[in-house]
Structure 1
Amino acid sequence: MRYIADELKGRKTSDGKPYEFEFIPKDEFSLSNMKKLATSKYIFLTDNFFALAFMRFNKKTKLIQLWHGTGIFKKFGYDLLEDEQKKTMLKFSNKITNLMVSSHNVIDIYARNFAIDKSKVLPLGIPRNDYYSPEHLDEDYVRQLRGEFEQRYPNLRGKKIVLYAPTFREDPKYNAVFNYFDIEKFIDELGDDYILCIKLHPNYNKFADSANRIDLDELTDTYNIVNFTEYKDEQKLFLISNILITDYSSVMVEYTLLNRPIILFAYDLDNYLENERGFYFDYRKEVPGRIVKDTDELVRVIREKDFNLSNLKEFAEFQFDYFDAYSSKRILDYVLEE
């Protein structure tokens, strides 16, 4: 939304007036916000908001779904809903004017999962990825950004940053990621050159039982690591990191834009494939990095720089039609044209 807003600030309506806009958090819905929705000509969404299924809008109002994820990875949307939810989804989807996606390759899957006609799905890009502008990718900017982090976290100095960003599992046993990721071994083997930074998924605690719930403060006090779980701007973390370790998180899709090593720490791969969401491609063959199943293997891959980058370029080109910072411009050029 920030990038759409920034792009709007530089534009004027056909009669020369600036565009007026407001942000409405969906968990702060109110009568005054209903009025704003009712009197808006354009409504941009970054998530599903099924309350819209039960509202009637002026026929000239355009509802534009920007979504919050990039490309395709895990199954989502209509593929995961129960029958009653699907009925609501259909009512909601009928209101959508256009859905924006990152690539023409993902149109069919997004059309099905939003239950809308393919003609409404446009591969104009994802505004979120406008962050990766030439200015932000510039070596001097990244060096400055890293310096700011090092002032706050001095233990980052002189080390390559390994960012561990696992997703959650619905099974509490496998959700306990640090029963499988041996932090002590990682530090003993790689701590001279690398520092581990962790960013757990917001749903981690939701699926963690009391026996396996992690005290992150205790973890960072015990080991020389940095906990970024509460840090909101993960794109800055991507920029300063040298290696991403994840598993089944869609952050791997976005990280391919940086053309840096990705390691898939999939200690529970067989169980995940059988019992969790599933994927839209062959995970074992098509992920953009090396798959490892234990810390010994993880350490070896990093030490030997055995990252298996062969899939990275092809994976990225499938997920993105554009490698630029102009998605918001393309979207508004299309939406605002009368």
Structure 2
Amino acid sequence: LLTNKNHSFEANLEYIAKELDNRNNAGKNYEYKFIPKDSLSFSNIRDFASSKYVFLVDNFFPLAFMNVEGMKWVQLWHGTGLFKKFGYDLLNDEDKKIMEMFAPKIDLVSVSSENVADIYARNFYVDKSKVKPFGVPRNDFYDEEHLSDDYLSNLRESFEKDYPQLKGKKLVLYAPTFREDPKNNAVFAYFDVEKFLNELGDEYALAIRLHPNYKRFCDEEHNIDLEDLTNRYDIINFTGFKDEQKLLILADILVADYSSIMVDYTILKKPAILFDYDLEDYLYKERGFYFDYEEMVPGRIVYNIDELIEAIKEEDFRLEKMDEFLKFQFGEFKPNSSKLILDYILED
């Protein structure tokens, strides 16, 4: 299981490991190790070289120059479905050539539905026959047990002990993605925390979860320190919290933008607001999307903090596109991706 320094990317690998543990408990004998791809030690290199199956959550360019005969490589990726552009579509010519060298060595790319398979095949530069709609392992969390009222009640009680500002309030989770432009990446220059709390703080608690690449695109001129912000205001910083799925179940409203966290969140069919203060820049200067963003997203789009506050006060979430969006991204969603992937790759 080849991991990434961004720990929030590891959830897919952890659900594969859980499924392997289930099989070992049933009498199988699978050994596995988490190997960080960015800092390989001698022992990690030995473990890696002796592996029969390798699971990725990101691209691994050294694969282009490796002899991997006898190994099977599985790309789980860290995003869900189709949203912002990724992979081959974003590479420069030199990196495209390297990707074209390692891509044929990938044996399986697991995607959320058949509807997204063509674009994943192109962006991983693999034959479409290798792209299977087995789903996203981390979404195995959303099973009957974890969606039950009892589980949510116990989860809420547990969180309230650690974060007493949640007591008696609904939770708004703000989870923005990163921007390559440092000015637009300074999300708290646009999300006015003080104004939000003044207007909504009696009814709502506010939690923040930044993208793991956020700091990479900060600069001194535009950055607002999140630690300082949480010290000044009564907000919760969930940026380092490992279990994103628990946060999504706990949230009453998700405020996102261009991150695929919103795609995962649609499984729960709860309100989402897209806080897109820089939409024009993102469309034409950064990544862009694979569909008409404003037409397709299943939630209210707002462009400033006043519109965001108004949407929450008026409960204007515009959820009428939810079912269509969910169907496109997941088909008939079932929380059994890890089993399907391992059935296929181990028994093929």
TM range (shorter): over 0.9
Aligned: 1:311 with 2:321: yes
Residue in 1 aligned with 2:111?
101
Q: Of the candidates 65, 87, 98, which is equivalent to residue 88 of structure 1? A: 98
| Structure 1 counterpart SS, 2:219 | coil
| Contact 2:72–2:106 (CA under 8 A) maintained in structure 1 | yes
TM-score (norm 1): 0.95
Letter in 2 for 1:97: D
Residue in 2 aligned with 1:177?
187
Structure 1 position 217, deviation (Å) = 2.7
| Contact 2:189–2:224 (CA under 8 A) maintained in structure 1 | no
Structure 1 position 140, deviation (Å) = 1.1
Q: Of the candidates 10, 15, 21, which is equivalent to residue 32 of structure 2? A: 21
Residue in 2 aligned with 1:337?
347
1:209 to 1:9, Cα distance in 2 relative to 1, 3 A: closer
1:182 to 1:244, Cα distance in 2 relative to 1, 3 A: same
Letter in 2 for 1:155: Q
| Structure 2 counterpart SS, 1:44 | strand
Aligned-pair identity (%): 61
Structure 1 position 328, deviation (Å) = 0.7
Q: Of the candidates 46, 52, 57, which is equivalent to residue 68 of structure 2? A: 57
Structure 1: distance between partners of 2:167 and 2:22: 39
Structure 1 position 62, deviation (Å) = 1.5
Aligned: 1:67 with 2:77: yes
TM-score (norm 2): 0.92
1:336 to 1:197, Cα distance in 2 relative to 1, 3 A: same
Structure 1 position 161, deviation (Å) = 0.1
Runs of 5+ unmatched residues, structure 1: none
Aligned: 1:284 with 2:294: yes
Residue in 1 aligned with 2:284?
274
Runs of 5+ unmatched residues, structure 2: 1-12
Aligned residue runs from structure 1 range 1-12, under 5 A: 1-11=13-23
Q: Of the candidates 47, 55, 76, which is equivalent to residue 36 of structure 1? A: 47
Structure 2: distance between partners of 1:61 and 1:209: 42
Aligned: 1:244 with 2:283: no
Structure 2: distance between partners of 1:329 and 1:18: 16
Structure 1 position 17, deviation (Å) = 4.8
Structure 2: distance between partners of 1:46 and 1:204: 18
State the Cα deviation string for residues 37-91 of structure 1 (Å, max 9, x = none). 3332222212111111111122x42211111211011111100111110111111
Q: Of the candidates 141, 150, 166, which is equivalent to residue 160 of structure 2? A: 150
Runs of 4+ in 1 over 6 A off after TM superposition: none
Structure 1: distance between partners of 2:257 and 2:226: 20
| Contact 1:9–1:18 (CA under 8 A) maintained in structure 2 | no
Structure 1 position 192, deviation (Å) = 1.2
Residue in 1 aligned with 2:147?
137
Structure 1: distance between partners of 2:190 and 2:141: 33
| Contact 1:166–1:248 (CA under 8 A) maintained in structure 2 | yes
Q: Of the candidates 133, 151, 159, which is equivalent to residue 123 of structure 1? A: 133
